[in-house]
Amino acid sequence: MRASRADNARMSPAPTNAPARTANFDVDTLRIVIHGARGRMGERIAACAESDGRCAVAQRIDRGDALALRTGDADAVLDFSSSEGAARAAEIAESLGCALLVGTTGLSGAALGMVGRAAGRVPAMVAPNTSLGVAVARRLAAEAARLLTGFDIDIVETHHVRKLDAPSGTARSLAEAVGRGRGTALDPARIVSVRAGDVVGDHEVAFSGPGERIFVTHRATSRDLFALGAIRMARWLAAQPAGMHSPDEWFDDLVRGRG
């Protein structure tokens, strides 16, 4: 059934006059809004938040649900939904005056534009992968690409059959790290995507040279890995000033003991 204009008004967040977020926002118990709450990742984030004494779910929202919170009622919106859902999550974060962490991949230009607009008032991040291990793998891949001059570099990523975007956001982020390390972009033809079974997520970067091969491999065995990582990233993000932030910034602070 198509929603009425009144229903659509209730589902849309109200504009906010809250000032743009500044740095050093004090986060004790992180209050999160889970957007895409009935999805697999949304459910795992909720479960992991319940077992975290420093995290509370302020509201779970999915398609068609009305926002029941007001400005100041939450510290971060975590979105794992769809491209259209990410755009709405950006509106919600802006209306609440809180951080926005988008873990949805395959975002449209329109969705990215909405996230960018929200970043004008709140701290925002698009994180194709919230795993600490993937952050480390990106650094290793960049350094290997820098050191292994003349080696062929290939990326193979495998996910479950229901994953729509290919290559995955993680594979693209690994390719970006390789390009940064080597100084030239990786040919997209050297990224292979496999969709099979119920694989959570496997990524392998292969460096092939004369007489030897080196692999940087990450295998995810549970979605809790990403849920816990998303909560950890959101806690860091909520303490940042308004603007667009990156997983690399978070990882740099983590290495310095501030992540």
Let me know whether 36 and 120 are in one domain.
yes
CATH code where residue 153 lies: 3.30.360.10
Share of the chain above pLDDT 70, in %: 89
Range scoring the smallest mean pLDDT among 119-123, 175-179, 251-255: 251-255
Let me know whether 69 and 99 are in one domain.
yes
Let me know whether 47 and 136 are in one domain.
no
Let me know whether 246 and 157 are in one domain.
no
Which pLDDT band holds residue 7 (cuts at 50, 70, 90)?
very low
Let me know whether 234 and 216 are in one domain.
no
Which pLDDT band holds residue 19 (cuts at 50, 70, 90)?
low
Let me know whether 116 and 244 are in one domain.
yes
Record the pTM.
0.81
Task: Give per-residue pLDDT as tens, 38-64.
Answer: 999 999 999 999 999 899 999 999 998
CATH code where residue 23 lies: 3.40.50.720
Let me know whether 121 and 158 are in one domain.
no
Let me know whether 92 and 11 are in one domain.
yes
3-state SS, one letter per residue, for the chain: CCCCHHHHHHHCCCCCCCCCCCCCCCCCCEEEEEECCCCHHHHHHHHHHHCCCCEEEEEEECCCCCCCCCCCCCCEEEECCCHHHHHHHHHHHHHHCCEEEECCCCCCHHHHHHHHHHCCCCEEEECCCCCHHHHHHHHHHHHHHHHCCCCEEEEEEEECCCCCCCCCHHHHHHHHHHHHHHCCCCCHHHEEEEECCCCCEEEEEEEEECCEEEEEEEEECCCHHHHHHHHHHHHHHCCCCCEEECHHHHHHHHHCCCC
Please give the residue range of the domain that contains residue 184.
Answer: 132-220
Which sequence positions are flagged as catalytic? 159, 163
Let me know whether 192 and 163 are in one domain.
yes
Tally of structural domains, the chain? 2
The yes-or-no verdict on residue 2 having pLDDT over 90 is: no
